[in-house]
Amino acid sequence: MPILKHGEIIIDDWQNLADDEVLPEEGLAIVSLARWQTDRDQLINARRPLGLRLTGKVDVSEIAADLDHFDLVAVSFPGIADGRGYSQARLLRQRFGFTGELRATGPLVRDVFAALERVGFDAIEARDQAEAEAWSVAVGRITVRLQSDITAPEMSSFQTAAE
């Protein structure tokens, strides 16, 4: 699947592994939290780039101590009305200091691009090339920010003017 990363369409070099799928000898692999919990030592001993796939049900504080083992965390949004992934992203970036790629996956719409970016996502998984191109057009469309965020913690000019 194409990925929109920092506003550019890129080819996804990461492979999403099923829980019963053998870890490939080479390449970049993303595993589920269940797989990580089961095969943690084996995955660490493989000494290779590793990604973690999370659902919205996961309390990210439970994986905070392991974040140094991951180059990527993919947060799944089960639907467009489910905002738990925003909270997870903000916690991963601000509270737990995750600096790797933070990828949003699931049925997302372009209107949320700015919000995803503001909480710390730097990549979005598109369903196909057409969707990736539509997302890339959305980059930079929303330029007014009414609240601070993790990339620009200062208050917006609207908030300052209202004082």
| Residues 29-56: tens digit of each pLDDT | 999 999 999 999 999 999 899 999 999 8
Which residue intervals of the chain are DSSP H helices?
A: 33-45, 84-90, 113-118, 129-138, 157-162
- CATH code of the domain in which 115 resides: 3.20.20.70
Task: Please give the residue that has the higher pLDDT: either 82 or 68.
Answer: 68
Task: Please give the residue that has the higher pLDDT: either 152 or 51.
Answer: 51
In this predicted structure, what is the pLDDT of residue 132?
84
Evaluate if residue 155 carries a pLDDT over 60. Answer: no
Query: How many CB atoms lie under 10 A from the CB of residue 88?
Result: 24
Evaluate if residue 7 carries a pLDDT over 50. Answer: yes
Cβ density class 107-127: b for 16+ within 10 Å, e for less:
ebebebbbebbbbbbbbbbbe
In this predicted structure, what is the pLDDT of residue 108?
86
Evaluate if residue 74 carries a pLDDT over 80. Answer: yes
Evaluate if residue 125 carries a pLDDT over 80. Answer: yes
Residue 78 sits in which domain range?
Answer: 2-162
The C-alpha atoms of residue 129 and residue 81 are separated, in whole angstroms, by 24
| Residues 99-123: tens digit of each pLDDT | 999 999 998 887 787 788 889 999 9
In this predicted structure, what is the pLDDT of residue 115?
84
How many domains is the chain partitioned into structurally?
A: 1
In this predicted structure, what is the pLDDT of residue 135?
75
Q: Residue 3's closest CA among 124, 120, 93?
A: 124
Q: Residue 76's closest CA among 53, 49, 60?
A: 53
Residues 19-33 have a mean pLDDT of 94
